[in-house]
Amino acid sequence: MTDTVSMPSRKMAISQANVVIVGAGPAGIGVARVLRHLAIPDVRVLEREKIGASFQRWTIGTQFISPSFPSNGFGLTDLNAVSYDTSPAFSLRREHPSGGEYANYLQQAALAFGITVNTGIDVRGLEPDGEGIVVRTSHGEVRARFVIWAAGQFQYPSVSSLSGAEHGVHSSLVKRWAEYPGDDVLVIGGYESGIDAAIGLTAAGKSVTVLSRAAPWAVSGPDPSLTLSPFTKQRLDALTRRRSIALIGDADILGLERQGDLIRVLGANGRSWTTKPPPVLATGFAGSTKLIDRCFARDANDRPILTPQDESTELPGLFLVGPEVHHEGHIFCFIYKFRQRFAVVARAIAARMGVDTEPLAPYRANNMFLDDLSCCDATECLC
Ligand SMILES: Cc1cc2nc3c(=O)[nH]c(=O)nc-3n(C[C@H](O)[C@H](O)[C@H](O)COP(=O)(O)OP(=O)(O)OC[C@H]3O[C@@H](n4cnc5c(N)ncnc54)[C@H](O)[C@@H]3O)c2cc1C
């Protein structure tokens, strides 16, 4: 069912819109659906590749860590759903979908929601323009009253903190671990991506050493944004029992340098490791807001500063949805978290357009309308 809702564009026919949504991942499709519920006219979704493109790029074998279950009927929306009335578990019949499977779910969801996506349009920048915003794209300009930035993180890897990063390979760029060169591989970074890489490399018969500044595999805590997920931990435990993976949890890596046909990984306190294959850099993601850096003020941790409606403080009319949304210690990096802010953004836009917000009532009833963050204290787990 791929792309029946996509319109590949040679030359974009539109030059004006009420709302432009940039990106057709879970954030873009999810928020587009809420705007449709509100019957906001003239909403355009611009996507540089196709619906679910980031998931199509995942390494073969990588799966969702958060489980899907068709529990919507009992008021517990599938953790990986972008709306309260869809469920990847139901449509895919998978508990931990692969990237390709999840992209199929997003394409089916967009079709069911009646959302048309303009594919093949790369957004290059935003400019303030009177009361609106000009969206500069590979296919011309669109003038919009509001822009919702939903371009995600995955296609914007972070390597800049390491000198000599060109001697490594970012984990997001590897298609198959079995084809990765060498038998002994160093992985830099020990959070979800690093451990997933280590598990994939081990499954391909390689011996792996993980170098990490901290030891998230040894940390237990209630916020899944800060610890390894149970799915990753249980797979890792099975491998460490078999001694297939060495985990070094106090290695603060500063850079990489080439020495002949070897690569030296330099750590703090004079420590170093030498390897022939390029180390895997599981160093996280800079995020797509870097593309429009001037449109956001940043906090001390370099995160975009947002109003309580997730609007930029620098460019009124620009809203952010997805994993880069952050408020006072609350990290919205999982789908089940950031989907709860779609209705907050939609309500703000509807209010300014004079559109009735009554259709948002079911969102609140289904835990999809989180405007009071005092309720989300992840430390409130008793066991
Ligand atoms: C290996 C891995 C496993 C994960 N597992 C889970 C999990 O189990 N559960 C969970 O909740 N989350 C998980 N995540 C995180 C989750 O995938 C992201 O939070 C989610 O994809 C973010 O959705 P998004 O729509 O904001 O971004 P994306 O999915 O990246 O979508 C952004 C879209 O915007 C498009 N785009 C980007 N830039 C532009 C541009 N300039 N112009 C036009 N289009 C553009 C892209 O092509 C893409 O289609 C995982 C992430 C990874 C890497």
What are the residue ranges spanned by the domains of the chain? 2-155+286-375, 165-281
Please compute the mean of the pLDDT values over residues 166-189 and round it to a whole number. Answer: 97
Does the pLDDT value for residue 380 go beyond 60?
Answer: no
Q: Does domain 2-155+286-375 have CATH number 3.30.70.2190?
A: no
Report pLDDT digits (tens) over 301-329.
Answer: 999 999 999 999 999 999 999 999 999 88
For the entire predicted model, the pTM comes to 0.95
> Mutation test of ligand 1: which of 48, 147, 318 has the most ligand atoms closer than 8 Å to its C-beta?
48
Residue 259 or 374, more confident? 259
User: Can you read off the two tokens belonging to residue 65?
Assistant: 């860590």
Identical topology for domains 2-155+286-375 and 165-281: yes
Task: Return the structure tokens found at 128.
Answer: 């303030």
CATH 3.40.50.1370 matches 165-281: no
Average pLDDT over residues 268-272: 95
DSSP state of 305: P
**Burial (CB count <10 Å: 0-12, 13-18, 19+), residue 139:** middle
Q: Ligand 1 centre from 183 Cα, in Å? A: 30
pLDDT recorded at residue 244 = 80
**49 close to ligand 1 (CB < 6 Angstrom):** yes
Does the beta carbon of 288 lie inside 6 Å of ligand 1? yes
- Smallest CA separation from ligand 1 atom 31, residue: 25
Looking at residues 116-134, what average pLDDT do you find? 96
Nearest partner of 324 among 336, 334, 309, judged by Cα: 334
- Distance, CA 57 to ligand 1 centroid (Å)? 10
Look-up: residue for tokens 């073969």? 60
pLDDT digit string, tens, across residues 36-47 = 999 999 999 999
User: Where is pLDDT greater, at 3 or 207?
Assistant: 207
